[in-house]
Amino acid sequence: MNAKIYNQTGKSVGTIALPEEVFGAQWNGDLVHQVLVSEAGNARANVAHAKGRGEVRGGGRKPWKQKGTGRARHGSTRSPIWIGGGVTHGPLTEKDYTRKINRKMKAAALYAILSEKLKSGEIIFLDEIKAKDIKTKEAKTIMTSIANIPGCAELATKRKNAAFIALGKKDKEAERIFGNIKSVVIGEWRNITPSDLLKYKYIVVSEPEESVKFVASKMK
C-alpha cells in the first residue's frame, strides 16, 4: 500500500509505503465508539454538585408541632419537598466518569479511523513544514497550496475543524505560524488521539516516514 508524499507547495515529491495493519484495517464502529466515550469521560471536569438535605442551610428545628395544626407533619425545612431544601439524587462531584482504555483497544480504534480517513482521501502526507517567515501569512500560503492537492479543496474554505497538522517532533516555529488560524490545530503526532482524528476533516502528516513508524509501533 503506497501513498503520495507532497511538499508544502502542493507538488508530489515521492511515495511512502504504508503498513497494511495501520492503514488497511477494517472499520469497527463499536470499538471506536467505546474508545471515544471513554476519552470524553476521562477528559470531563466533574464540577456539577447539588446540595443534599444535609448540606443546605437552615432547618435546625421542627417547623411546627407534630399534631393539632391541621397542616401536614414536617420535621425539617431542609426536606427536598420544601422550597430551598436539599436536592434528591442531584449531581455530585464524587461521581467518577473515568473509564479504562486498554492500550491495544486505543491503537485498534486509531488504526480503524486512519484507514477510513485514507480511503476518503482525507490524509495528506507532507515531506516537511518549513516557514520562511514566522508570520500567519506564511501559514495561509502553505494551506492554500496544500488545498490544490486533488480532493483537498475544502481545506482552504472550511472555517472550523479543517485540519489537524501532525508533526513528527515538536516545532515551535510551525506552532507559532499556525497559531492564529482557528480552523487548524497543530501538534505532535505522538499526542494524537482517536477523538482528534474524527474531529478534524483532514489530517496533515509531516515527516511521514517517522510518523508512520511511530504509529505502527503502538500495537507492539
The dotted CATH code for 2-44+98-219 is 3.40.1370.10
Express each pLDDT in 6-63 by its tens digit: 988 888 898 999 999 999 999 999 999 999 999 999 998 889 999 999 999 987 889 9
Give the span between the Cα atoms of 155 and 162, in whole angstroms: 6
Q: Where are the domains of the chain?
A: 2-44+98-219, 46-96
The helix, strand and coil proportions of the chain, stated in percent and rounded to the nearest 5, come to: 35, 15, 50
pTM: 0.80
- Residue 168 near residue 206, CB atoms below 8 Å: yes
Express each pLDDT in 112-140 by its tens digit: 999 999 999 999 999 888 877 788 888 88
pLDDT at 220 > cutoff 70 = no
